[in-house]
Amino acid sequence: MPRNIDPILLSALSARECTPVDLVQITFRSETSYAWTGVGELAWNGKLFKGIGSVGGLGDVVEGTEVRADGTSVLLSGIDNIFLGAAMTDILLGAPAYRWLGAVYPGTNQLIGTPYLIFSGQVDKPRIYTGPEKSTITLALETRMINHSRASNRRYTAADQHANGYPDDTLFNSVEITADIQLVWGG
């Protein structure tokens, strides 16, 4: 499948005249955060990405030919245990998450070309590793395909349909009636 990668970025990556970087956007309850794998700040697309340097980590991005939910992860280490509770309540499951592959000129925070979107999905289960003074949080990021493997927790009733945005739906009115019908077979 052909990729729509910026030719300037592709040329720089092919020639190895650059430093590859990742840019990440994750939405939390309090704000949308922008981070990148370098040090300092990087401006792109009207946003200011904060450098996470060595306190962050990114999981692999897997791509295949099968239809399945492949995800990735974002790790943030060195979190003071005093702030762990606040950090956990700020995580919003199902919130949008994006990851781009980009490149910068060596020793600078200047992007080469336009970063390429390599992951688009949502925030899933966090894992916490606590230490005596500092902790680590790993956020699982999943593609929206993961929702197909989860139970819907919906009911096949008129009340459920009306409560979930379909107030004029009458299909399930008959389903509720059949639950109370006693059928006697034979003589």
The domain spans of the chain are: 7-150, 154-187
Mean pLDDT of the chain, nearest integer: 80
Residue 48 has pLDDT above 90, yes or no: yes
Please tell me the predicted confidence (pLDDT) of residue 47: 95
**pLDDT tens by residue, 128-173:** 888 887 788 888 888 765 444 555 666 777 888 888 788 888 877 7
Residue 7 has pLDDT above 60, yes or no: yes
Name the nearest CA neighbour of 47 among 25, 28, 27.
25
**pLDDT tens by residue, 104-137:** 998 888 999 999 998 888 888 888 888 887 788 8
Tell me the sheet residues that pair with 142: 122
Question: How far are the Cα atoms of 75, 90, 95, 125 from residue 31, in angstroms, in the given order?
Answer: 18, 9, 11, 19
Q: How confident is the model at residue 62 (pLDDT cuts 50, 70, 90)?
A: low
Q: How confident is the model at residue 25 (pLDDT cuts 50, 70, 90)?
A: very high
Tokens of 161: 């349909």
**CA 169, CA 53: separation in Å to the nearest integer?**
52
- Detail the DSSP E strand segments found in the chain: 19-27, 32-36, 41-44, 47-51, 56-58, 72-80, 96-104, 116-130, 134-142
Lowest mean pLDDT among 45-54, 59-68, 98-107: 59-68
Please tell me the predicted confidence (pLDDT) of residue 148: 47
| Model confidence, pTM | 0.69
DSSP three-state, residue 9 = helix
Residue 22 has pLDDT above 70, yes or no: yes
